[in-house]
Chain A
């Protein structure tokens, strides 16, 4: 469905994309990951034909360079933040539906499925609507004409948790044969949507695989926090460090944490039970996507350099 060969893009002296070769099959659910400035948005803009690039890029059999309009007919797009269009919601929906050649009724029904009734909200000016509502509108518009490809550029980045959950739920409506490419910083989004992950780094695709493979590549990236009675803490730490072979670190007095591989969490807890150390509580803390990527890419772990949450 998407076929890129030696895709490259240079801004001044900075080569943002440096030879991307890629095939996405119909129906694939792909997450596009990368540190800040890795070129995710640039790649999406190339896919939409909004900027010129080197190499060849075909979507649904059409050449993006020469046949941008037909490509965009087949591609739905949801940006990170919905612009505040002039006019009311109903006008905006009608205008973009007609522009995309979508059935206006179908879009309205889809909006209803997403929990947004045009009959109720249609007369409201777009600028009075919440970000969550707008993203749903854009999603409905993007899907309206049964597109072949859905491009999502960090669509939940500016949403509160509830709106984010609703948006991700809405993504389940996507037809099976539609190829979805989601650029995201959020592990939860990626896990909810994608079964294939692409990591952009240095202008190239540095990783192409499943989530598990990414975890494996990144190694111990999850933090397991364990709370034990204070008297047992030092014993517990020694015990755990012998299993995971990494130093534990202490936080807020009674709990301590260790970095563990995704599948080694059970081992840690088993060790403690064997030693009759009472585990009062435990929880895991997912790493930020940034630290996961840093791990996978072999970069020094530095959460501040990663694309963390922006909220």
Chain B
């Protein structure tokens, strides 16, 4: 199996992640603040600390764990004070952001979409033109999971702040493979998942909320701390209720440690070279249309083969060549309007630090064979 669906979930995981997960599951269960066990709390703090280093967030104690980006987005959207306020999201957003924004109608005011171009780029000037003083927040997807376009977070955060709005960054697709500088860019809230380029297991993730931003939890429950307190009247909330996914967090910590050891700049450089090879190889094939160019510097490339639906191409690649990619809208429906791929979506190839040139070359060869076979296709209508 050649796995080029890394943007969905990375595979394989580095050996230290598997080891950390197995060790956590094999050990006597530790209780987060429960029964006086300090081990679990230490493990969580260790993971928070590493995440803070990787994401450029000095106040890492304000990184809270969740089950992933969707869970984080729901926590953020319900926890921020957005009721009756105007909110912007970009056309590149994933449904993990769009659906909570558009369905928590009792907690969010008007939602407007900032358009992107066919590459998935959101222009800071366009953001500036749309914002008004009643804007509560801008939700910005850092790296498009369809085209790999990286947005200018710093410029858009500066515009947001000038209009009194918060910058909420979705780093699900960038954390671990693209440098993220949360504090330096002025990010107010950041959402991430653990199972993509952080190499953690599925079911891990989290979010950060800068100190001073009015924020309350949308879920309550046992935390093992101060059990007599039933109502949080003082606003001293807890944001991680319920038994936490400690084995998952231990594995996530190992994944983040792997990324820090490898160096996120080095990872971005290696993946960038693989994507350039892929882009050049696929671009040279007749019938192949690429969506994006070298300006899309994330480890993701969308393309189509003229005469074949994306889902069929993915079926042939998997069944005929043992190559796993993804086809369709990739849970980001709005960007396809800008790309002209609304009806069937695209074929998406994505790499991680675990892929190599051989993987990319196999995909190029397979796509060439498929494209050439269409010349001699037998068709009855």
Q: Do A and B come from one complex?
A: no
